[in-house]
Chain A
Amino acid sequence: MLRIENLNKSFGEKQVLKDINLDINKGEIVMITGESGVGKTTLIRCLCGLENYDSGRVEYLNDDKGNGDNSIGLVSQSFDLFPHFNVMKNITYPLMKVKNNKKTEAINKAKDLVGFLGLNGLEDNYAYQLSGGQKQRVAIARALAMEPNYICFDEPTSALDYKLRDNVGQLIKTVASRGMGVIVITHDREFANKYANRIFELGA
């Protein structure tokens, strides 16, 4: 379980996160909603170690699965694919460098993910040759490849065609069903109601 306890975060004088308390279980989809500028992105940046917080705790608690592993993935709003790597290498590079996978091993995992995310035929493309939705799926594949226990999505529907919304929703459900804790920022209420196990309203 990922436990956020009394989390406080300010930028200068401005307090953005005030005493946030939130638990996220593995296999669960928690959607974070709230108005623009309320601190949703800041909250998940704190979880991912991209932002320091002033006080409080982010804890990875042991549970049945057991290791208190602090692994977490992020699919940011800008996707941040590595532009000098093709789709395949975006996925395999961290596997080889961080997980010390052999090249063939990494390629096999990446191929599975390419299939899972419907990226077939785009393996050799570079980011500039992909649509927004495709870039997002590559970012998801890259994050999933690392097999984190938790994964965060920052506004996964905002860059997408309305019709693709449900594809992302289904994808998120599948990811959660694999046992990952999923944290999703959205300001789409309908989307949240449809796919969340729990909705966490931030602010006001």
Chain B
Amino acid sequence: MDYIIEVLPFLLDGFKTTLWVFGVTAIFSIPLGLIVCLLRLSKIKVISLLMQVYILVMRGTPLLLQITFIFFGLPILGIVLNRELATAIAFILNYAAYFAEIFRGGINSIDKGQFEAAKVLKLSKSTTYFGIIFPQVFKTVFPSLGNELITLVKDTSLVYILGLGDILRAARTLSNKDASLIPLFIAGSMYLVFIGILTLILRRVESKFEYYR
């Protein structure tokens, strides 16, 4: 018990990193994913193709590599970022690609009749998307979105590659130092509690969409 109290501050400190990487990525990658998805669906071939390449690269290479590249590779091009910013950018770009594909699936699943009804009623493009299509898309993609967010919680541990101290890194350091599994066990419990809470929130939001079918 004493030991737990002793290591807890270190672990909580690491957890802060886990939290901000999660928060920043979630907040920025979802809207960016929506934008990427719309550009991907653009009738302008070049833009659509560019987005396809972007999505392929992001989904086709390990996130670990992307983080490394953005931090160590971009300085070669004269772009120097600090560790936090490089991490945030890598995570946001990576997750936006996944979200873009989720949104695309969602938009494609919307009945063509919805677009056509909107068109005959002379709703503008933006009203059609924001008022009619996206609300329905969000309902259908929400479970996948939630899944992705849960994966993100665990992916945050990849920040160790740039020397950022997240909870898993703190736990491993303590575990090695004290030859004990307890820090790892606590870290695991903290992930579990966090994801548990996240799951409850996701379920709450999902139920908000249940007023129609």
Per-residue interface assignment for chain A, residues 172 to 195, with 1 indicating a CB less than 8 Å from any chain B CB and 0 otherwise: 000000000000000000000000
A-B pairs with CB below 8 Å: how many? Answer: 56
Q: Does A24 contact B (CB under 8 A)?
A: no
With both chains docked as a complex, state the minimum distance between the C-beta of A199 and any C-beta of chain B, in angstroms: 24
With both chains docked as a complex, state the minimum distance between the C-beta of B122 and any C-beta of chain A, in angstroms: 5
**Interface members, chain A 19-71 (any B CB < 8 Å):** 48-50
B213 touches A80 (CB 8 A): no
Q: Does A93 contact B (CB under 8 A)?
A: yes
Contact of B212 among A72, A97, A127, A143 (CB under 8 A): A127
With both chains docked as a complex, state the minimum distance between the C-beta of A16 and any C-beta of chain B, in angstroms: 18
Q: Interface stretch among B55-63, B109-117, B193-201?
A: B109-117
With both chains docked as a complex, state the minimum distance between the C-beta of B129 and any C-beta of chain A, in angstroms: 12
Chain B contacts for A142, CB-based, 8 A: 121
Chain A contacts for B119, CB-based, 8 A: 49-50
List 5 additional contacts besides A84-B136, A98-B124, A142-B121; criterion CB under 8 Å.
A82-B132, A93-B131, A126-B211, A143-B121, A146-B121
With both chains docked as a complex, state the minimum distance between the C-beta of B106 and any C-beta of chain A, in angstroms: 13
Q: In the complex where A83-B136, A84-B139, A84-B212 touch, is A94 in contact with B122 (Cβ < 8 A)? A: yes
A84 to B134 Cα, complex, angstroms: 11
Per-residue interface assignment for chain B, residues 188 to 213, with 1 indicating a CB less than 8 Å from any chain A CB and 0 otherwise: 00000000000000000000000111
B213 touches A82 (CB 8 A): no
A94 touches B212 (CB 8 A): no
Q: Which residue of A lies closest to B128 (CB)?
A: A97
Q: Does A116 contact B (CB under 8 A)?
A: no
A49 touches B123 (CB 8 A): no
B124 touches A97 (CB 8 A): yes
Number of interface residues of B (CB under 8 A): 20
Tell me the interface secondary structure of chain B in the complex: helix
A48 to B211 Cα, complex, angstroms: 32
B213 touches A97 (CB 8 A): no
Q: List 6 A-B contacts (CB under 8 A).
A: A49-B119, A80-B114, A82-B114, A97-B124, A97-B131, A98-B122
A78 to B113 Cα, complex, angstroms: 8
B113 touches A98 (CB 8 A): no
Chain A contacts for B135, CB-based, 8 A: 84
Q: Does A88 contact B (CB under 8 A)?
A: no
Per-residue interface assignment for chain B, residues 91 to 122, with 1 indicating a CB less than 8 Å from any chain A CB and 0 otherwise: 00000000000000000000101101101111
**Interface members, chain A 57-114 (any B CB < 8 Å):** 72-74, 76, 78, 80-84, 93-94, 97-98
Contact of A94 among B111, B113, B116, B123 (CB under 8 A): B123
Chain B contacts for A126, CB-based, 8 A: 211-213
Q: Does B144 contact A (CB under 8 A)?
A: no
Chain B contacts for A82, CB-based, 8 A: 114, 117, 132
Chain B contacts for A76, CB-based, 8 A: 113, 116-117
With most chain A CB atoms within 10 A of its CB, the pick from B113, B120, B122, B211 is B120
Chain A contacts for B120, CB-based, 8 A: 48-50, 72-74, 143
